[in-house]
Chain A
Amino acid sequence: MKTRFAERVGSLDWGKLAPLKLRARAVAEGVFAGAHRSRRRGPGVEFGGHRSYVPGDDLRFLDRRATMRHGKLLVRQFETETDRGLRLVVDASRSMAYRSEGAPGAKLAFAALVGAALCRVALASADTVSLDWIGGTGTTPLPAMGGIEAFDRLTEILAAVEPSGDALDESALLDSALDAVARRSRRGTAIVFLSDFIDLPEGAAERLVALSSGGRVVVGVRVLDPAEVSFPFVGPVLLRASEGTASVETDGGSARAGYLAALAAKMAGYRDRLVEQGGRFVEVTTADDPVLVVQGVLAAIGGPAA
């Protein structure tokens, strides 16, 4: 059975989302493409609120009064305007190849579209972009670069990807990707993590949160298939996970509520950890309008709100 799934994910099901380059350009054109204000919270003039202290924060910004009042270390944030780079991390593990009946394309295809559109918007603002992968076959990392060539190269790499790998069992896939992006990210960099957040290994949230130190903004974009948020199954069904060995025989109607609760709890874990450290968590499905999704991600990064 596993072999059969492997054959199915051998080539990514782009569906209505192909061709990537044209679609990404169209999406980007739908988004406000002008110079965007980097709502970077950090050293500056305008107070931007508090957040929990993480190692590496400048001790000068520790708010002693707030710390004494709340019993934990809190740092003051300030808003400033600056140019910022965009670092994309795309999950290309096997689970991202999933496309349910009626969905416009696979999750990886949608993530690639959103990533490409974001890249185009960022490039239009003279920001640099980079690309790193979790799993996948034919996944060439794209170092930080700017200019129109970067968009062409990035879309070519995205279009050539084939999902593979089991991020759940192979935690090294996540570690290598995060290490790479950490090396490339300077203060003020926006890191967009496109994944379904389903099959990430244990401790992934902490490792992701760790990226938000040093003035970096981490935006987790949870990309799910419509079937994964609605659980449309009715009657007895045998469900096999794309990654890992999970296999569950269940009843669609009976299991729906429990599944949705578990999914919400899992996602809430990522969201809370990210938000607590100043990150953002955007939840989308492949059935959503990519333009709105890109606008939402930009708003989360600190660009113009959609």
Chain B
Amino acid sequence: MSFVVWAALAIAGLVIGPIVAHLLHLGRAREREFPPAALVPHHRSTARERSRLEDFPLLALRSALIIGLALLGAMPLVRCDRLALGRTSGASVAFALVLDDSGSMRATLQSGKTRWELAKTGAEQLLRSAREGDAVTIVLAGRPARIALAPTTDLAAAEHALDELAVSDRATDLPASVDLARAALRPLPQRDHRLIVLSDLADEPVADGSPEASVPLAELAAKVDDCAITGVERRGMRVTAGVACSSDGAAQGRTVELVVAADSVRDVGARDAGALRSAGDVVAHAELSPRRGEQSLTLAVPKNAGTLNARLTGTDACRHDDEAPVSEESTASVVGVVADPTRAAAKTGGPTVVEQALQALGETWVVRPLPFVPDDEKGLDGVGALVIDDPPGFSPEARASLARFLARGGVAAGLLGPRSAATALGWTLEPFARGAARWEEAHGLQVDTGSLAWLGPEAASLGSIARRGRTRLDGMEISGALVNGRWTDGMPLLLERPAGRGLVVTVGLPASLDESDLALRPGFLALLDQLLRQASQREGGRRTAAGGAWTFPSANRVSVDGPEGAIAVSREPSDEACADRGARPGCGDTILRAVANVRGRYIVHIDGATETRIATLDPAEVLAEPRAPGKEGRSEGAQGTARVGVSRELSLVLVALFTAELAVRLFRKWKGQRAVPSPSAIANP
């Protein structure tokens, strides 16, 4: 046997010895003669428990002393050290701590600690090794990368800021965070700049640059077995669950279950008491395929199953991501299109040009053709944006439905054409325009592309639209409408008006190819894109990746309750930039914004209305394999960080333990003396 084995056995003996002695001591009470023993109440269990409680501190102290001594003696063999800033000279150092707060950092390593705990401990050790005059900045690598602490020489503030940090379920954006850290270090006067990355490096490699990145905690890159539910969506009677597994073993023998959520019982009970289920009931399950990567499982759910959660059976390195809320169908982003296929479709057939244009914008939005504007509000459930081509007016019921749609944050665009000029009796064009529309054939007029500069370079494509006429919008503006696009004669082409929490966009040209080629122009795509962006902002993307911001334009009062309690809602300037020529809608406004850091179900209260939003986990957080520090780690040492022993601290701890044992003994002796009353005080009253 090697020396290490003998040393380990010796340490084990030293630790076990006091424990055995302690237990033996516990098992035998001191025997005394006491004539009035019959009057003494029996307190055997209490006595032993009390003894155990009273003796435990001493036992713990002695064991800690022995372990400390053993560690101190075994320092050459046992690594017990901490991170510190390596210094080549006495000059001050400016260093950036890039702390990865992404979802992959929640994984528990073999040491029993999570990557985040290790990274944060490392950051604290590095901060403690900083001296007066050193500058520090903290950058978080969860997407989007952000500065948690601007460069400062106030080390106490830095420690406080570090204490406040918590891991999230964001995706990782290591390159951006490193760039951000380098940019933050650049203006600092210290000559010695350091960039310390505390991450599992499960992302793109860090780009070369100055200063070089140092990755002192290689143990963070240890691979773990983890499966996560990345998203669960319900469509009718089916639920589709996305699961990502980091390895074959992680998926082996595991099942996805759909369980009734705790807050579901009340909702279901309100609708159908007969379908009442208790929280935690499993309504469906499906086995995972034992393979690495993403897989999609479809499960059938019974009627009125209520609000559901999906969960994975079994265990892995991260329990946090084994359960996720099921997105209701209504939370999917849907854009509704009301267009006459006979007029707005291409000659070659297929969907209408508006639908094709929307589909060309990507798969973020689901396009749903509607035959007409629903009279019932339920017909617009789940619809975030609505495009209506050349409407022949709206019935009172449809107007009421539209008003409610706008009030809850929907964005509606009306492309007014010749049919809009011939509204039926009792029908109007509200909420898009006031009064009757006038369709006129005006030759030689062009769109003032300058007024549409906010659409970007695509606006230029609208300068030469081939058309047969236009809808005159002058005099039709409803109060509060802004003219965001004009004809060359100054007549309005495009109106925008906030309504409720939503937005109404009115365009003076239809999408029908018979009337104009507007729908074929890139500027039309830009216009629709802007429309959907507005809708996204208002609807907030009811199912977004963790870390994404929810904005609430036109909302006055917003509160968000998430899985970890209420999250902060801040009022910030709108993202809309104010261009020199023309202004985008919302330019200069402030809007309410909230960020969902962790995955889960969020209950959002907007001006009295309540809706549910879901934050999901990026599958890359599970699938991306951590990388051992390569070239990033080579600067460890003089240029970055160093591991220093803790012998000094350990010695101080030993002295403190010894002092504590003495104090405990003295206290117990004093306490024992106090507890015994003076015999003379009781003897003879």
Binding site for B on A (CB under 8 A): 1, 5, 8, 95, 98, 196, 198-199, 224-244, 246-256, 258-260, 262-263, 266, 282-285, 287-288, 296
Given contacts A98-B33, A240-B37, A251-B46, is CB(A232)–CB(B676) below 8 Å? yes
Q: Is the CB of B48 within 8 A of A234?
A: no
Given contacts A237-B32, A256-B675, is CB(A247)–CB(B37) below 8 Å? yes
Q: Is the CB of B30 within 8 A of A238?
A: yes
Return 10 A-B CB contacts under 8 Å, by A number: A227-B34, A228-B34, A228-B36, A229-B679, A237-B30, A246-B37, A251-B46, A284-B683, A288-B680, A296-B684
A-contacting residues, B1-47, CB 8 Å: 26, 29-44, 46-47
Number of A-B contacts (CB under 8 A): 149
Which chain B residues lie closer than 8 Å to A255 at the CB level?
A: 40-43, 47
Which chain B residues lie closer than 8 Å to A98 at the CB level?
A: 33-35
Cα distance, A251 to B677, chains bound together (Å): 16
Q: Whose C-beta in chain A lies nearest to the C-beta of B680?
A: A287
The CB with the most chain B CB atoms within 10 A, among A231, A251, A253, is that of A251
Q: A266 touches which one: B33, B39, B54, B679 (CB < 8 A)?
A: B39
Cα distance, A266 to B44, chains bound together (Å): 23
Q: A285 touches which one: B36, B676, B684 (CB < 8 A)?
A: B684
Q: Is the CB of A254 within 8 A of B46?
A: yes
Which chain A residues lie closer than 8 Å to B680 at the CB level?
A: 226, 285, 287-288
Q: Is the CB of B29 within 8 A of A259?
A: no
Q: Is the CB of A236 within 8 A of B29?
A: yes
Q: How far is the CB of A90 from chain B (nearest CB, A)?
A: 16
Q: Whose C-beta in chain B lies nearest to the C-beta of A197?
A: B36
Which chain B residues lie closer than 8 Å to A226 at the CB level?
A: 679-680, 683
Q: Is the CB of B675 within 8 A of A238?
A: no
Which chain B residues lie closer than 8 Å to A243 at the CB level?
A: 35
Which chain B residues lie closer than 8 Å to A224 at the CB level?
A: 683
Q: Is the CB of A248 within 8 A of B33?
A: no
Q: Whose C-beta in chain A lies nearest to the C-beta of B34?
A: A239
Which chain B residues lie closer than 8 Å to A239 at the CB level?
A: 32-34, 37, 40
Which chain A residues lie closer than 8 Å to B26 at the CB level?
A: 236
Cα distance, A241 to B38, chains bound together (Å): 7
Q: Whose C-beta in chain A lies nearest to the C-beta of B50?
A: A251
Q: How far is the CB of A135 from chain B (nearest CB, A)?
A: 13
Q: A1 touches which one: B30, B31, B37, B39 (CB < 8 A)?
A: B31
Cα distance, A260 to B42, chains bound together (Å): 13
Q: Mark B663-674, 1 if CB is under 8 A from A, else 0.
A: 000000000100
Q: How far is the CB of B288 from chain A (nearest CB, A)?
A: 55
Given contacts A235-B54, A249-B44, is CB(A230)–CB(B35) below 8 Å? no
Cα distance, A287 to B676, chains bound together (Å): 16
Q: A236 touches which one: B30, B36, B39, B41 (CB < 8 A)?
A: B30
Q: Is the CB of A287 within 8 A of B41?
A: no
Does residue B516 face the partner (Cβ distance < 8 Å to A)?
A: no
Which chain A residues lie closer than 8 Å to B33 at the CB level?
A: 5, 8, 98, 239-240, 242
User: Besides the contacts A229-B683, A259-B39, A263-B39, what 11 more A-B pairs have beta carbons closer than 8 Å?
Assistant: A225-B35, A236-B26, A236-B29, A236-B30, A239-B32, A246-B38, A250-B42, A255-B43, A285-B683, A287-B679, A287-B683
Q: How far is the CB of A191 from chain B (nearest CB, A)?
A: 21
Does residue B270 face the partner (Cβ distance < 8 Å to A)?
A: no
Cα distance, A246 to B35, chains bound together (Å): 9
Q: How far is the CB of B21 from chain A (nearest CB, A)?
A: 15
Q: How far is the CB of B215 from chain A (nearest CB, A)?
A: 54
Does residue B678 face the partner (Cβ distance < 8 Å to A)?
A: yes
Does residue B685 face the partner (Cβ distance < 8 Å to A)?
A: yes
Q: How far is the CB of A105 from chain B (nearest CB, A)?
A: 14
Which chain B residues lie closer than 8 Å to A240 at the CB level?
A: 31-34, 37
Q: Is the CB of A259 within 8 A of B47?
A: no
Does residue B682 face the partner (Cβ distance < 8 Å to A)?
A: yes
Q: B676 touches which one: A230, A237, A262, A263 (CB < 8 A)?
A: A230
Q: How far is the CB of A35 from chain B (nearest CB, A)?
A: 27
Cα distance, A285 to B683, chains bound together (Å): 6
Given contacts A238-B32, A254-B47, is CB(A229)–CB(B682) below 8 Å? yes
Which chain B residues lie closer than 8 Å to A236 at the CB level?
A: 26, 29-30, 47-48, 50-51
Q: How far is the CB of A218 from chain B (nearest CB, A)?
A: 19
Which chain B residues lie closer than 8 Å to A229 at the CB level?
A: 679, 682-683
Cα distance, A231 to B35, chains bound together (Å): 11
Q: Is the CB of B684 within 8 A of A198?
A: no
A-contacting residues, B365-398, CB 8 Å: none
Q: How far is the CB of B453 from chain A (nearest CB, A)?
A: 86
Q: How far is the CB of A24 from chain B (nearest CB, A)?
A: 20
Q: How far is the CB of B603 from chain A (nearest CB, A)?
A: 51
Closest 10 CB pairs between A and B? Answer: A251-B47, A226-B679, A95-B35, A258-B41, A236-B29, A246-B38, A241-B37, A285-B683, A262-B39, A236-B47
Cα distance, A243 to B33, chains bound together (Å): 10
Given contacts A228-B35, A235-B51, A238-B31, is CB(A262)–CB(B42) below 8 Å? no
Cα distance, A262 to B37, chains bound together (Å): 11
Which chain B residues lie closer than 8 Å to A263 at the CB level?
A: 36, 39
Which chain B residues lie closer than 8 Å to A230 at the CB level?
A: 676-679, 682
Q: Is the CB of B43 within 8 A of A241?
A: no
Q: Whose C-beta in chain A lies nearest to the C-beta of B671?
A: A234
Which chain A residues lie closer than 8 Å to B675 at the CB level?
A: 234, 252-253, 256
Q: How far is the CB of A164 from chain B (nearest CB, A)?
A: 14
Q: How far is the CB of B50 from chain A (nearest CB, A)?
A: 5
Q: How far is the CB of A93 from chain B (nearest CB, A)?
A: 9
Q: How far is the CB of A226 from chain B (nearest CB, A)?
A: 3
Q: B40 touches which one: A232, A259, A282 (CB < 8 A)?
A: A259
Given contacts A240-B33, A283-B683, A285-B684, is CB(A251)–CB(B39) below 8 Å? no
Q: Is the CB of B34 within 8 A of A249?
A: no
Cα distance, A243 to B34, chains bound together (Å): 10
Cα distance, A256 to B658, chains bound together (Å): 32
Cα distance, A249 to B50, chains bound together (Å): 13
Cα distance, A199 to B34, chains bound together (Å): 12
Q: How far is the CB of A21 from chain B (nearest CB, A)?
A: 26
Cα distance, A100 to B54, chains bound together (Å): 25
Which chain B residues lie closer than 8 Å to A231 at the CB level?
A: 40, 676
Q: Whose C-beta in chain B lies nearest to the C-beta of A196?
A: B35
Cα distance, A248 to B30, chains bound together (Å): 11
The CB with the most chain B CB atoms within 10 A, among A95, A242, A248, A254, is that of A248
Given contacts A224-B683, A283-B683, A285-B679, is CB(A248)–CB(B50) below 8 Å? no
Cα distance, A183 to B598, chains bound together (Å): 96
Q: How far is the CB of A193 from chain B (nearest CB, A)?
A: 17
Which chain B residues lie closer than 8 Å to A5 at the CB level?
A: 33
Cα distance, A239 to B32, chains bound together (Å): 5
Q: How far is the CB of B441 from chain A (nearest CB, A)?
A: 103
Q: How far is the CB of A198 from chain B (nearest CB, A)?
A: 5
Cα distance, A71 to B218, chains bound together (Å): 95
Cα distance, A289 to B387, chains bound together (Å): 108
Cα distance, A255 to B35, chains bound together (Å): 15
A-contacting residues, B535-560, CB 8 Å: none
Q: How far is the CB of A256 from chain B (nearest CB, A)?
A: 7
Given contacts A229-B679, A241-B35, A259-B36, is CB(A235)–CB(B684) below 8 Å? no
